[in-house]
Structure 1
Amino acid sequence: MTPAARISAAIEVLGDLEARRRPAADALKDWGLSHRFAGSKDRATIASLVYDSLRRKASAAWIMGEATPRAVVLGMLRLQRGMDPEAVAALCSGERFAPEPLSATEREKLAAASLEGAPAHVAGDFPEWIEPSLRRIFGEELIPEMQALTTRAPLDLRVNALKVRSREEAHDALPHLGAIETPLSPLGLRIAPSEDGRGPAVQSEPEFIKGWIEIQDEGSQLAALLSAARPGEQVVDLCAGGGGKTLALAAMMENHGQIYATDGDTRRLAPIHDRLIRAGVRNVQVRTPRSGADAVTDLNGRIDCVLVDAPCTGVGTWRRNPDAKWRLRPGSLEVRRKEQATVLDRAASLVKPGGRIVYITCSILPEENDEALEGLLQRDPGFDVVKADELLASAGLSTLSSFVRMTSHGLQLTPGRTGTDGFFVSCLRRR
C-alpha cells in the first residue's frame, strides 16, 4: 500500500469507530480481515495512524475547525507528525486510493495550526468532564502533564533477578534491540517506539523464553518495588490478573516466603501459570475462586503485605490505549470507585497487626486514589498512612522523591514527571 492509501485506510477506520463506538483494536482487526491484501507493515502503519489520531483527537479537530475523521487525521499529521501543509497535500492527491485533495480552507487551517487560546481539554486532549478532577492533582501543570499522555509509550522490560545476575547481563545479551537502561527502575530496560509504531518481537527472543525478561512498564516496576516485599513474608496479590506484579514480588522475595495470587475475575488469572514456570518462580500459590467464593478466606488476619493493584479507569495508560479516553464516562468511574472500596475492605481483613496494604492504580484521578483510601480510613480507623518519604526509603528508592508528585496519602507517577505510565502508589499500615 502507498502512504496515501494508508491515510485513507486510517480515515476509514476512524469513521467506523465514530459510528460504532468500540475499541480501536476491534475496528482495526475487522479492517484487516476485509482487506487481506494489506501486509503486516501496512496494518501496523495504519494502526499507528489511527492511534496517533486518537491521541490528538481534540486538538486536531480544534485546528481544523471540525471533528470529522478526515479532519482529525489531517490535524494529527500536522500536530503529532510535524508535517507541513505541502507534505500533507502530497498525500491527498485524490488519485487511486488516496484521500481527496485538500480544500483551500483545509490548507489555511493546516498553515495556521495553533493551539493558542484553546481550552485545557483541547490542548491536553482529554474529555472535558474530568478537568476538575485533573486540576486538583496537577494545578498549573495540567496541560503539559496531559500532553505527555498523548505521546507514544516506549516498550519497557523488567530483568528477572531469579534468572539473571544483573541488568547489565540481560542488556548485553540483547544488543540488537537497541535497549537502554531505564532511568528510575534499577531493573528496567527501555526500547524506544519505532517510527511506524511497531515494536520488536520480544516474546520470541530466547532470553524472554528463558525467563530472563518480562514486558512491564517502568512505572509498574516501581510500584512493585515500593511494596518493599521481603524474603520470608506472607504476601497476597489480591488483584493479580496475568501476574505481572506477582512475578516482580517473587523476584524481590528471592523465592522465599509465600505469595498468594488471586483475582475476582478468574479469566484474568489464566496466563499466570505459564509465566510463573518460565520465570522460575517457586513461592507462589495461585488461588482461583470457585463459584464466586472467596479464595483466601483462610488467610484473614495473617498477612504481612496485601498488594491491591486495584481495578480503575486506566487513565494513566492513555499513551498505550488512547481510544479508551474517549469512551470514558462518569458512570464507569463510579463503578470503579465501588469496586475499589470492595477490594480495599477485603484487603483490610487480610492484614495482620503491623502488616500493610500497598494500594496501586494506573490512574491519575484523585477519586480513585486519595479519595478511595480516605474512604477506607473512615470505614476502618485502625490504619495509618505511611508517609511517602518513608515509603520510598523502605524500598531503597529515595532518589524518586525529586520526580514523583506527593499527594495526601501517597505518590503519583506520570509521563510528564517520571516518563512512565500514570501510577498511584500508597501504603497503609495496620496498628
Structure 2
Amino acid sequence: MRQEKRVNPRNLALLILNRLSHDFAFSDRILKAYFDKRPDLSDRDKAFILNIVQGVIRWRLRLDWIVGQFLSFPSKRLDPYILNILRMAVYQILFMDRVPEFAAVNEAVNQSKKKGRHIANTVNAILRNICRSKDKITFPDRRRDYIKFLSVFYSYPEWLVKNWLKELGKEETERLLNAGNSPPDITIRTNTSTTNRDALLSLLHAQGIDAAKTRYSPVGIVIKRLQRSIEDMALHRDGSFFIQDEASQLCSYILGPGPGDMILDMCAGLGVKSVHMAELIEKKGKIIALDINPKRLLMLAHASLRHNLDDIIHPVAGDALYASSLFNCFFDKVLIDAPCSGLGTISRHPDMKWTKTEKEIIELSGIQKRMLDVASKLLKKNGRMLYVTCTISREENEMVVESFLKEHPGFRLLNIGSEVAWLKDLVDKRGFFRTFPHIHGMDGFFCALFSK
C-alpha cells in the first residue's frame, strides 16, 4: 500500500490562510476540517499550524504594516498568495522565538518559487532585510494619531478602536486590545450528570494536565498550556466535560432554572446552555431548544440522547424571530442567547476583527430588539427572561435593553447582583452582568435579567 507523503506544516498553514482569504468561515472550523483529513499530523504539527494561522489572522494589520515598510509599492498590490507567505514568515520572525529566522526565510522562499524565481528572489530580499532591521521597525506616531497607532500596533480595524475609545476610554481600551491578542486558556464545564469537578480534576492531573478550578463557576475548570487537541481527549469523547467559557457557564445560573420549569432556549445552537440548564433542573422539567440551523439541532439531539436528556430537551427547528407563532404555550424562563457581533470573543476567534463591520452591529441591534419583543410574548407572568450577548458593544447591549424597557412597561429590570449575590463582583451599577477579557480573564459577556 502506498504511504501518503508527510505534509509540510507550513504548506498546510499557507493553504488554510489562502482559503480563509476568500472564505469567511471561522479559522478554527477550517483548521479542524483539515486536521480531520490528515490523521497523520502529530500534535506538535497541529499546534504549529494553529499558532501560525491564528497568529497571522490576529496580527494581520501589524504584519502588513511591517511588510509595507520594506516594499517600494503598497502591500495591497501584492499577489494574495505571496502576501500570505510574507505574513507567515514575518509572524515567525517576530513572534515565534523558537523558530530560527533562517528557517522562516528559507521556507517562505521555497513556497514562493511556485510563482517564479524572480518572485522568490524578491521574497528572499524582503525577509532578509526585515531580519536585519527588525529592531528599527516604526509604527504610526502615538501622539499625532492615537487611533491609527492603536489600530496598527495592536492590529484592529480603526472603526472598532474608535468605538471602544468612546465607550471605555484610553486606558481600558488599550488593555482590552492587548488582551484580545493573547490566546486564552481553555475552559471546560464538568458534566455533573456523570461526574463531579473534583473527580474530573483528579483525572486531568493524573494525565499531567495543568488544570485548576474556575473562580466563579462551581463546575468550571481552566486548562493551561495544553499541547494537544482537547476535542481528541478521551474524557471529552466520553462526555465528562463540555468546552465552554466561564462567562458562558454563568448565564445559566443567572437565569436560575429550577425543577419543573418550562424553559425556552432561543437560538440554542449546539445546546451547551440547554444541557447545562437540564442539569440545573435535575432533569425535572422541559427545555425547548429553538434554533434556525437544523445541523446544529441534530448535533444537539445526539448529545441529548447520549446524556439521557432526550426526554428533557426538545430541539425545534425554526426562526426565533417568529417564535411566538410556533408555540401555543408560555414559559417560566426564557433564555435569549442573541446573535451578536461576538466582539467579546476576539481572543478566541481573532477572525472577528476582520469579518465584522460597524454597519453589521447596527443591523444586529435591530434583530436583537425584535427577538426580545418576541420572547416577551412567550413569558408567563412573574416569569424571568435573560438577554445574553458575547460582545462589548453598547449598541447591542445597554441600548437594546433601554429600548426594550421603554416599549414594554410591563417588564422590569432585575439587579443580577441582588438576585445572584455570589456574582455581584461581575455586576455593574445598573445591575447588568459584565465580563471583560482584560479584567476577568473571560470572554466579554453581557446579561440583562427581566421579570414580567
What's the TM-score bracket when you normalise by the shorter of the two chains?
0.7 to 0.9
The equivalent residue for 2:447 is 425
* Distance in 2 separating the partners of 1:259 and 1:361: 20
Q: CA deviation at 1:52?
A: 0.9
* Distance in 1 separating the partners of 2:403 and 2:259: 31
Q: Assess, with a 3 A threshold, how the Cα gap between structure 1 residues 136 and 348 changes in structure 2: closer, same or farther.
A: farther
The equivalent residue for 2:303 is 275
Which one-letter code corresponds to 2:131 in the other structure?
Answer: R
* Distance in 2 separating the partners of 1:172 and 1:148: 30
Which one-letter code corresponds to 1:336 in the other structure?
Answer: L
Q: CA deviation at 1:72?
A: 3.0
State the secondary structure of the residue aligned to 1:173. helix
Select 2:401's aligned residue among 369, 373, 377. Answer: 373
The equivalent residue for 1:135 is 165
**Greater RCO, 1 or 2 (C-alpha within 8 Å, sep 6+):** 1
Q: Assess, with a 3 A threshold, how the Cα gap between structure 1 residues 278 and 211 changes in structure 2: closer, same or farther.
A: farther
CA offset digits 1:154-180 (Å, max 9, x no partner): 22211122222x310121123214322
The equivalent residue for 2:278 is 250
State the secondary structure of the residue aligned to 1:162. coil
Out of 238-247 and 331-340, give the one that drifted further: 331-340
* Distance in 1 separating the partners of 2:182 and 2:448: 26
CA offset digits 1:19-70 (Å, max 9, x no partner): x25334687689889x979835545522320111111112333344455434
State the secondary structure of the residue aligned to 1:347. helix
Q: Assess, with a 3 A threshold, how the Cα gap between structure 1 residues 352 and 69 changes in structure 2: closer, same or farther.
A: same
Contact 1:60-1:79 within 8 A present in 2 as well: no
The equivalent residue for 2:353 is 325
Q: CA deviation at 1:252?
A: 1.5
Contact 2:266-2:335 within 8 A present in 1 as well: yes
The equivalent residue for 1:97 is 110
Alignment of 1:281-320 (within 5 A): 281=309, 284-289=312-317, 294=323, 296-300=326-330, 303-320=331-348
Report the aligned-residue RMSD: 3.5
* Distance in 2 separating the partners of 1:32 and 1:224: 33
Q: CA deviation at 1:365?
A: 1.2
* Distance in 2 separating the partners of 1:154 and 1:385: 33
Q: Assess, with a 3 A threshold, how the Cα gap between structure 1 residues 38 and 230 changes in structure 2: closer, same or farther.
A: closer
The equivalent residue for 2:116 is none
* Distance in 1 separating the partners of 2:67 and 2:283: 56
Q: CA deviation at 1:148?
A: 1.0
TM-score w.r.t. the length of structure 1 is 0.83
* Distance in 2 separating the partners of 1:321 and 1:291: 25
Out of 178-187 and 67-76, give the one that drifted further: 67-76
Alignment of 1:28-427 (within 5 A): 39=41, 41=43, 42=45, 44-65=47-68, 68-77=83-92, 79-82=94-97, 87-93=100-106, 97=110, 100-101=123-124, 103=126, 105-113=129-137, 117=142, 119-139=149-169, 140-164=171-195, 166-174=196-204, 175-176=206-207, 177-194=209-226, 198-202=228-232, 204-205=233-234, 207-281=235-309, 284-289=312-317, 294=323, 296-300=326-330, 303-393=331-421, 396-398=422-424, 401=425, 404=426, 406=428, 408=430, 410-427=432-449
Out of 49-58 and 270-279, give the one that drifted further: 270-279
The equivalent residue for 2:78 is none
Q: Assess, with a 3 A threshold, how the Cα gap between structure 1 residues 405 and 125 changes in structure 2: closer, same or farther.
A: farther
State the secondary structure of the residue aligned to 1:272. helix
Out of 312-321 and 61-70, give the one that drifted further: 61-70
CA offset digits 1:314-364 (Å, max 9, x no partner): 222222222232121234323322321221111111222222211111111
Aligned length: 412
* Distance in 2 separating the partners of 1:169 and 1:353: 41
> % of aligned pairs identical?
25
Contact 2:188-2:222 within 8 A present in 1 as well: yes
TM-score w.r.t. the length of structure 2 is 0.79
Contact 1:121-1:131 within 8 A present in 2 as well: yes
Q: Would you tell me which structure has more helix in proportion to its own residues?
A: 2
* Distance in 2 separating the partners of 1:31 and 1:259: 35
CA offset digits 1:170-210 (Å, max 9, x no partner): 21123214322223322112222446xx42345x51x4454
State the secondary structure of the residue aligned to 2:288. strand
The equivalent residue for 2:115 is none
Which one-letter code corresponds to 2:64 in the other structure?
Answer: A
* Distance in 2 separating the partners of 1:391 and 1:119: 42
Q: CA deviation at 1:130?
A: 2.3
Which one-letter code corresponds to 1:106 in the other structure?
Answer: I
Contact 2:292-2:319 within 8 A present in 1 as well: no
* Distance in 2 separating the partners of 1:291 and 1:428: 22
Structure 1 outlier segments of 4+, above 6 Å: 29-33, 35-38, 290-293
User: What 5-or-longer segments of structure 2 have no aligned partner?
Assistant: 1-6, 70-74, 76-82, 113-122, 143-147
Which one-letter code corresponds to 1:112 in the other structure?
Answer: K
Q: CA deviation at 1:17?
A: 3.8
State the secondary structure of the residue aligned to 1:322. coil
Contact 2:342-2:391 within 8 A present in 1 as well: yes
Select 1:14's aligned residue among 14, 17, 20. Answer: 17
Q: Assess, with a 3 A threshold, how the Cα gap between structure 1 residues 54 and 309 changes in structure 2: closer, same or farther.
A: same
CA offset digits 1:83-137 (Å, max 9, x no partner): 69xx324431369836754545413542235667362222332221223332244
State the secondary structure of the residue aligned to 2:249. helix
Out of 238-247 and 39-48, give the one that drifted further: 39-48
State the secondary structure of the residue aligned to 2:17. helix
* Distance in 2 separating the partners of 1:214 and 1:31: 23
The equivalent residue for 2:80 is none
CA offset digits 1:272-312 (Å, max 9, x no partner): 11212333436624152469974752223xx2221111111
Q: Assess, with a 3 A threshold, how the Cα gap between structure 1 residues 142 and 109 changes in structure 2: closer, same or farther.
A: farther
* Distance in 2 separating the partners of 1:83 and 1:113: 21
* Distance in 1 separating the partners of 2:394 and 2:314: 32
